[in-house]
Amino acid sequence: MEKELLIEVKNMTKFFGPTQALKGVDMRFYRGEIRGLIGENGSGKSTVTSIIAGMQAASGGTMTYKGQSWKPENMVEAQKAGISMVLQEANTIPDCTVAENLLAGRFDEFSKFGFVSMKKANAEAEKMLLSFGITNIHAKDSINKLTFEDRKLIEIVRCVSDETEVFVVDETTTALSLEGRQILYKLIHELKEKGKCVIFISHDMDEILEQCTDLTVLRDGNIIGHLNREEMDAPDAVQRIRYMMVGREIGEAYYREDYDTSHSDEIALELKNVSFGPIKDFSLTLHKGEILGFGGLSGCGMHEVGRAAFGLEKLESGSVVRNGKEIKTCLQAIESGIGYISKNRDKEALILDGSIQDNIVLPLLPSLEHGTFINPASEKDRADKEIDSFRIKCGTGKQWVNTLSGGNKQKVSFAKWTARGSEVLIMDCPTRGVDIGVKQSMYALIAQMKKEGKAIILISEEMAELIGMADKIIIMKDFRKSGEVMRAPELKETDIIEYMI
Ligand SMILES: Nc1ncnc2c1ncn2[C@@H]1O[C@H](COP(=O)(O)OP(=O)(O)OP(=O)(O)O)[C@@H](O)[C@H]1O
């Protein structure tokens, strides 16, 4: 059957100053498809989709939507016309309830004589949540109290309505919990069945191959090619897609290949009977040369443990200890050689209105000081070294972080701790949003750090990442440790899931 064309993009270009993000892109999107978009960090995926969704204008080219010329002024216009997009970064309105977030811009529907009936609004919000199968979040909940992962779900619920014709998901899965991912997958398949179009951006090849009906590969602002479902099922599909993405062969070796779980007896960091909020009496010991993985479902407490280990949580009792000293603040943590890559990249990991260089050198400034003077040349050298080794796609280190693509921002939040030579690294979803080539280098770097005797806490929603990298995996459930497994060739995801549910 002939597919019905929904959106056509012709010869689209986009310039950001000297950077050309799109170099004459042609694309067609049809009803009833889940179109994957894949490509290295900075290849133009978010740029092209954000233009379709009205967030910014193209520099050149044309678009049609349902056969008519399409040039939206803003996201609201696009959303009203049926095109909505979930962004990579957190995008909920703080200090409001879940209902206020979900119904923002729609309160007229629930008001009479200027008075809003919150009862009706809350009932509507509750209905929306239920229709997505979300039962653990409620209309009256404060959005501030929700986890990062649950706030991402709220964004999805807000974006999709009966009127949605095109739903763009920009690298969202890695921000969700494992349950959140299932809700998203169910949703996109329902939309496909209803003849809508889903544009699905992801760096996870397995996810793309499982969920999408078609795939488009971008590289450096160009479309490199398309694959249909049959081509995606071919035995050489993964190799072919990788080659299209990076323009060279990428080896299979991805995670650690060794099974050596030995480490020094020396303790690098200890959490001793720590209690705060729902976490009660939690202890852990991290040794030099050890990679300690943490996994679990949404709200299991693993992200909170990472924060506490970096001095970000106010403890009710117990202590965080490194080298015999208590760590009570993140400043003390940094001074004692601890680094922390937060999952909440834009809010906790980066100074968005600052340069790449400033972000990278900030934690190591004391080591660059000569008296009261900091040599600008050494700042630049240290930053340039990290920009090179992480292949951060930018003009110069002076470029502001908020102009980088999502994956390139993630590289900066990783690079600032490697530049500092942190002895203990707490990584909360460190490879979030980075492409396969960089992921490979990050994993190699983590394995190298272990060899150098550095101590690593790896918190991850990716079970393959935990199995592939950790010496020991601690599984959490309901804010407690529910299980523990050791690295082994025969270790499978099901061995971990058993302790999660
Ligand atoms: N506001 C901006 N100012 C300057 N450059 C920008 C801006 N937005 C995007 N760019 C640049 O445009 C290029 C394409 O970025 P885009 O976000 O589309 O990449 P992407 O394929 O979505 O990457 P990722 O996988 O990392 O999310 C990058 O080089 C990026 O730095």
Given a cut of 90, whether residue 252 has pLDDT beyond it is no
- Tell me: pLDDT of 174 over 80: yes
Checking if the pLDDT of 367 tops 90, the result is no
405 CA → ligand 1 middle, Å: 4
The Å distance, Cα 492 to ligand 1 centre, comes to 36
Identify whether the C-beta of residue 353 lies closer than 8 Å to the C-beta of residue 346: no
Distance 161 CA to ligand 1 centre (A): 28
**CB–CB of 264/285 below 8 Å?**
no
Does ligand 1 lie within 6 Å of residue 199's CB atom?
no
Compute the distance from residue 71 Cα to the ligand 1 centre, in Å. 20
pLDDT on residue 377: 81
Domain 253-337+423-501 has CATH 3.40.50.300: yes
| CB of 407 sitting under 6 A from ligand 1 | yes
Residue nearest to atom 3 of ligand 1 (CA): 403
| ipTM, two decimals | 0.98
pLDDT given for residue 366 in this prediction: 67
Q: What is the pLDDT confidence band of residue 91, given thresholds at 50, 70 and 90?
A: confident
Give, using CA atoms, the residue closest to atom 1 of ligand 1.
Answer: 403
Mean pLDDT, residues 393-412 taken together: 90
Phi, psi of 24 (to 5 degrees): 85, 65
Q: Could you tell me if 219 and 247 are in contact, meaning their C-beta atoms sit under 8 angstroms apart?
A: yes
Average pLDDT over residues 40-47: 93
Q: What percent of the chain is modeled with pLDDT above 70?
A: 96
Using an 8 Å Cβ cutoff, are 56 and 17 in contact?
Answer: no
Q: Residue 158, SS3?
A: helix
Confidence band, pLDDT 50/70/90 cuts, at residue 370: low
- For residue 224, the model assigns a pLDDT of 95
d(CA 187, ligand 1 centre) in Å: 27
> Is the Cβ atom of 12 under 6 angstroms away from ligand 1?
no
CA of 409 to the centre of ligand 1 (A): 10
Sheet containing 197-201, strands listed edge to edge, beginning at the edge strand earlier in sequence = 83-86, 166-170, 197-201, 33-39, 214-219, 222-228
Pocket of ligand 1 contains residue 393 by CB under 6 Å: yes
Rounded CA gap, 466 and 160, in Å?
A: 32
Residue 50 CA: nearest ligand 1 atom is 18
Question: According to the model, what pLDDT value does residue 347 have?
Answer: 79
Contact 263, 287 (CB under 8 A): yes
Q: Given this model, what pLDDT does residue 401 score?
A: 92
In the predicted model, is pLDDT for residue 96 greater than 80?
yes
Strands 115-116 vs 19-30: parallel, antiparallel or unpaired: unpaired
Q: Does 37 contact ligand 1 (Cβ within 6 A)?
A: no
For 446-480, the pLDDT digits (tens) are 999 999 999 999 999 888 899 999 999 999 999 99
Instruction: Residue 299: name the closest of 493, 153, 186, 188 by CA.
Output: 153
Tell me the domain boundaries of the chain.
5-95+142-246, 253-337+423-501, 354-419
Tell me the three state secondary structure of residue 265.
Answer: coil
User: CA torsion angle for 467, 472, 476, 480 (degrees, to 10)?
Assistant: 180
Quote the ligand 1 centre to 193 CA distance (angstroms): 32
Distance 44 CA to ligand 1 centre (A): 6
Please give the distance, rounded to the nearest whole angstrom, from the Cα atom of residue 457 to the centre of ligand 1.
30
The pLDDT of residue 382: 87
Cα separation, 267 vs 459, in Å, equals: 19
pLDDT band at 369 (very low <50, low <70, confident <90, very high): low
The protein residue whose alpha carbon is closest to atom 7 in ligand 1 is 403
Mean pLDDT, the chain, integer: 91
- Minimum-distance ligand 1 atom for the alpha carbon of 407: 26
Q: 392 CB less than 6 Å from ligand 1?
A: no
- Fold of the domain spanning 5-95+142-246: Rossmann fold (3.40.50)
Residue 424, beta-bridge partner list: 338, 455
Confirm or reject: Cβ of 202 under 6 Å from ligand 1.
no
Q: Is 47 in the pocket of ligand 1 (CB under 6 A)?
A: yes
pLDDT digits 0-9 by tens, 113-135: 778 788 888 999 999 999 989 99
Same-fold call for 5-95+142-246 versus 253-337+423-501: yes
Q: 25 CB less than 6 Å from ligand 1?
A: no
CB 46 near ligand 1, within 6 Å: yes
278: tokens are 């729902």
Report the separation in Å between the CA atom of 414 and the middle of ligand 1, taken as the mean of its atom positions: 18
Q: How far is the CA of 403 from the centre of ligand 1 (A)?
A: 7
For ligand 1, what atom is nearest to the CA of residue 22?
Answer: 14
